Amino acid sequence: MRLGIPLIGGHVAQFSIGLTDTVMLGWYSVEALASVVLGGTFFFVIFLFGSGFAIAVMPLVAEADASGDETTLRRVTRMGLWLSVLFGMAFLPLFIWSGGILEALGQDPEVAQLAQMYLRIAGLGLLPALLVMVLKSYLAALERTRVVFWVTVAAVPANALVNYLLIFGNWGFPELGVEGAAIASLVTQAVSLAGVVVYCALTMSHHDLFRRVWRPDWEAFGRVFRLGVPIGLTNLSEVGLFAASSLMMGWLGTVQLAAHGIALQLASLAFMVHLGLSSAATVRVGNAMGRKDAEHMARGARVAVGASLITSLVTVTLFLTIPEFLLSLFLDPNEPQREAILAAGVVLLYVAALFQVMDGMQVMALGLLRGVQDTRGPMIIAAISYWVIGVPSGYALGFALNLGGVGVWSGLVIGLTFASALLMWRFWGPCLRRLRQRFA
């Protein structure tokens, strides 16, 4: 809990930045909300793909720290920064031409162009966002989780203030709508990077993290790359499942897309708790790897999984008992389409309640497997579960059987169920058995 609670808080705070954009734009206009649902999904897909290198740093640093190897700790963190910069530069052009890409994927041209307007500014934040992820992974692996929490928390009010000024044009600032939200996101990412760099430079100076950071280290580069690419592709498979659902909801109309965006924000907020626990599990398992202690690894895993299950039960209760209240927080009381959006969103939250346990279990299993540096098998499991099973199921139920949004979201439930079962089996079965034999 000492390790996990600050990480949970950090993830929730990070998510709150996007949540603030959604709430404020929902009060601005439904069209603006729908466009940022699309634009935010587009950004998030690319960000999570690139964050594979940052996530790979966490188990490598945890293992090196447990074995007292400060040189390896420094080398893998630096090369994580290198790979994140290279990835960010390679993918920035996608944001510039995102409107055409979204239109080619069947989205409403007006909404797609608004999303492009958002991404041409907010997309510049990809590079600082990825670098922040690397440094957060480095600090979390060293169990410096409180600073991860406070740096992220400080960014939330900054983002909300700039949103307030630039979306609505308050206090004499220009009313920029979607562009205002994009500027706020970019400013927030830049401020977060500055804060975490200053902290690392001042308090972790004995690691010399930024000294000669421009010099390549191809052996460490290869280690982070080989571990990070499968993690990135696994992230891409999972977030791609949700992105595909956003695209399919866009085919159903602006009201359905807006309802989907709000319901997905609520489900994602709950997911941040599981993600924080998963990161804590990665650190503890990676630390146990460095000490060659399989029994401690298993005990820590059981505690993390139990905490995730308790969280799921709380979320399910909220989604089933007060769905309208939760959804209404995102909408202007005078919005003409408010009742239609609420009606569609309530049904989606009922379906979201079904996949809360499965979503928590799959991300917990991924965290445990990353801690033991097992990433290729999970990548294959995720690709099959989400793209061979989940996306086709959502399309078949939503369109072939005419179940609409409920059918699309039911595909999420099916894909997550397969992933959670297979990933949990992999850790508790062959993976843990192999490690017990190796450490005996």
The pLDDT score that the predictor gives to residue 188 is: 85
The pLDDT score that the predictor gives to residue 287 is: 85
The pLDDT score that the predictor gives to residue 142 is: 85
The pLDDT score that the predictor gives to residue 417 is: 93
> pLDDT at residue 20 above 90?
no
CA distance 54 to 138: 8
> pLDDT at residue 12 above 80?
no
> pLDDT at residue 415 above 90?
yes
- The confidence band for 178, taking pLDDT boundaries of 50, 70 and 90, is confident
> pLDDT at residue 314 above 90?
yes
The pLDDT score that the predictor gives to residue 47 is: 87
pTM of the model: 0.79
The pLDDT tens digits of the residues spanning 68-100 come to 778 888 888 888 999 999 999 999 999 988 888
Contacts of 178 (CB under 8 A, 6+ apart): 25, 32, 35, 36, 39, 114, 117, 118
The pLDDT score that the predictor gives to residue 207 is: 76
> pLDDT at residue 174 above 80?
yes
| Lowest-pLDDT range of 102-116, 118-132, 410-424 | 102-116
Question: Are 102 and 148 in contact, with CB atoms under 8 Å apart?
Answer: no
Question: Are 271 and 2 in contact, with CB atoms under 8 Å apart?
Answer: no
Mean pLDDT of 338-352: 89
Token representation of residue 325: 């209240």
CA distance 378 to 278: 15
- The confidence band for 145, taking pLDDT boundaries of 50, 70 and 90, is confident
Residue whose entry in the numeric block shows the structure tokens 């944001």: 95
Angle subtended at Cα 271 by Cα 269 and Cα 276, rounded to the nearest 5 degrees:
105
The pLDDT score that the predictor gives to residue 5 is: 79
- Cα 426 to Cα 56, 299, 309, 376: the distances in Å are 19, 17, 19, 12
- The confidence band for 256, taking pLDDT boundaries of 50, 70 and 90, is confident
> pLDDT at residue 192 above 90?
no
> pLDDT at residue 427 above 90?
yes
pLDDT, the chain, mean: 86
Q: What is the percentage of the chain residues whose pLDDT exceeds 70?
A: 100
The pLDDT score that the predictor gives to residue 416 is: 92
| Lowest-pLDDT range of 78-87, 95-104, 199-208, 229-238 | 199-208
Token representation of residue 280: 């804590």
> pLDDT at residue 414 above 90?
yes
Whether the CA torsion 186, 191, 194, 199 is positive or negative: it is negative
The pLDDT score that the predictor gives to residue 85 is: 93
> pLDDT at residue 386 above 90?
yes
CA distance 202 to 103: 47
> pLDDT at residue 355 above 90?
no
> pLDDT at residue 31 above 80?
no
> pLDDT at residue 241 above 80?
yes
> pLDDT at residue 10 above 80?
no
